Amino acid sequence: MGADFGISVRFSLYPKQIRFEANGAGKSMDEISVWRKKIDELDRKLVELLNDRANSAHEIGRLKKKSNMRIYEPDREKIIFENIEQSNKGPLSDADLKQIYERIIDVMRKIQKEEISTSQASVSETTELDLND
């Protein structure tokens, strides 16, 4: 009789893979796969939401330019962080979410700066001939 090391081997034709299972680890791998699929779907939703937020930031940048407003508004950022804390039900800590949102806000601020600088560049590139048309 051979020794039992608690390891089994499963072969699968699709996808082509060999799975080594130790003491029921195959079931755990299946569960991990299910959770990873859920994370992938959540990531797709996050990308969509972040792009929606970026479109809004772009529009706000355009409006700020028209109104000669500054990009950086510390009072607005304070409100954002307060809203995040109020809606946080965990498991992320408020500090973790604040760190994530600080980065998101940095990117959104960059989008607004680009909107304003692009608009200013197009105005500064206007020639005398353009003004006479």
Whether 92 has a pLDDT exceeding 90, the answer reads yes
DSSP line for 86-118:
HH--SSS-HHHHHHHHHHHHHHHHHHHHHHHHH
Alpha carbon 72 to its chain centroid, in Å, reads 21
- Domain extent listing, the chain: 7-120
Give me the percent of the chain exceeding a pLDDT of 70.
Answer: 69
Which pLDDT value is given to residue 37?
A: 96
pTM to 2 decimals?
0.67
- pLDDT: which is higher, 73 or 126: 73
CATH superfamily of 7-120: Chorismate mutase (1.20.59.10)
Whether 6 has a pLDDT exceeding 80, the answer reads no
Confidence bin at 29 (pLDDT 50/70/90): confident
Which pLDDT value is given to residue 24?
A: 60
Cis preceding-peptide flag for 15 (omega within 30 of 0): yes
- Is residue 93 exposed (0-12), middle (13-18) or buried (19+ Cβ within 10 Å)? exposed
Mean pLDDT of the chain: 81
- Mean pLDDT value of segment 82-110: 96
